[in-house]
Structure 1
Amino acid sequence: MKETIMKKYRLLNRIMDRISENHTGAYAAQSAFFIVLSMIPFIMLLLALVQYTPVTKADVIRAVTHVLPKTIYPMIVSIVNQVYNQSQAMISLTGLVAIWSAGRGVLAMSAGLNSVYGSKETRNYIYLRLRAAFYTVLFIIAIVLSLVILGFGDRLSIFIVNHYPFMKGIIDLIINIRAVASIVVLTVFSMTIYHFLPNKKTKFIRQFPGAFLTAIGWAAASYIFSAYVNIFTGFSTMYGSMTTIMLIMLWLYACMYIMLLGGEVNEMLAEDFFTSM
Structure 2
Amino acid sequence: MWKRRAKRWLLFLRRLQLEIGYDDCMGMAAQIAYYLMLALFPFLLFLLSLISFLPDLKPDDVLRSLSEALPAEAFDLVAGTVHAVLSGREGGILGLGLLAALWSASMGVGALITTINRAYNIHPRRNIAVQKVLAMALTLALSGIVILSTLMVLLGPRLSHQLFQFLGLAGDSQAVWNAVRLPVVVLLNLGGFSILYFFAPEAKQRYVWILPGAVTATVLWFGASQLFRLFVREFGSYNVMYGSIAAVIILLVYLWLSGFIFLLGAEINALMRRKDHYEDLPRVKGRVRKRAHT
TM-score range, shorter chain: 0.7 to 0.9
Query: C-alpha separation between the residues in 1 aligned to 2:19 and 2:62?
Result: 44
Query: C-alpha separation between the residues in 2 aligned to 1:93 and 1:221?
Result: 32
Query: C-alpha separation between the residues in 1 aligned to 2:61 and 2:19?
Result: 47
Query: C-alpha separation between the residues in 1 aligned to 2:77 and 2:20?
Result: 37
Whether 1:212 and 2:204 are equivalent positions in the alignment is no
Structure 1 match to 2:112? 109
Whether 1:82 and 2:81 are equivalent positions in the alignment is no
For the 8 Å contact 2:77–2:248, the answer to whether it is kept is no
Counterpart amino acid of residue 50 in structure 2:
L
Q: How far apart are 1:11 and its partner, in Å?
A: 3.4
**Bigger helix share:** 1
Among residues 244, 249, 253, which one is paired with 1:246 in the alignment?
Answer: 249
Structure 2 match to 1:14? 15
Among residues 259, 264, 269, which one is paired with 2:262 in the alignment?
Answer: 259
Q: How far apart are 1:198 and its partner, in Å?
A: 1.3
Deviations 1:116-163 (A, max 9, x none): 0111212232232233234334445667888x89xxx8xx89xx98x9
Q: Which moved more, 1:3-12 or 1:129-138?
A: 3-12
**Which one scores higher on RCO, CA 8 angstroms, separation ≥ 6?**
2
Q: How far apart are 1:106 and its partner, in Å?
A: 0.5
What are the residue-to-residue correspondences of 1:134-213 with 2, within 5 Å? Answer: 134-139=137-142, 169-213=172-216
For the 8 Å contact 2:36–2:108, the answer to whether it is kept is yes
Counterpart amino acid of residue 28 in structure 1:
A
CA spacing shift, 1:273–1:243, aligned 2, 3 Å: same
CA spacing shift, 1:203–1:26, aligned 2, 3 Å: same
For the 8 Å contact 2:221–2:258, the answer to whether it is kept is yes
What are the residue-to-residue correspondences of 1:23-172 with 2, within 5 Å? Answer: 23-54=24-55, 59-61=58-60, 64=63, 68=67, 71=73, 72-90=75-93, 92-139=95-142, 169-172=172-175
Query: C-alpha separation between the residues in 2 aligned to 1:53 and 1:121?
Result: 43
Deviations 1:182-228 (A, max 9, x none): 33322222121111011222112211111111111111012113334
Q: How far apart are 1:17 and its partner, in Å?
A: 1.6
Q: Give 3-state SS (helix, strand or coil) of 1:35's partner.
A: helix
Structure 1 match to 2:291? none
CA spacing shift, 1:75–1:184, aligned 2, 3 Å: closer
Q: How far apart are 1:246 and its partner, in Å?
A: 2.1
Query: C-alpha separation between the residues in 1 aligned to 2:66 and 2:93?
Result: 28
Query: C-alpha separation between the residues in 1 aligned to 2:172 and 2:212?
Result: 34
CA spacing shift, 1:92–1:240, aligned 2, 3 Å: farther
For the 8 Å contact 1:114–1:199, the answer to whether it is kept is yes
TM normalised by structure 2 equals 0.73
Q: How far apart are 1:174 and its partner, in Å?
A: 3.2
RMSD of aligned residue pairs (Cα, Å): 3.6
TM normalised by structure 1 equals 0.77
Alignment gaps of 5+ in structure 1: none
- Identity across the alignment (%): 22
Aligned residues: 264
For the 8 Å contact 1:214–1:258, the answer to whether it is kept is yes
Counterpart amino acid of residue 41 in structure 1:
P
Q: How far apart are 1:96 and its partner, in Å?
A: 0.7
CA spacing shift, 1:223–1:9, aligned 2, 3 Å: same
Q: How far apart are 1:39 and its partner, in Å?
A: 0.8
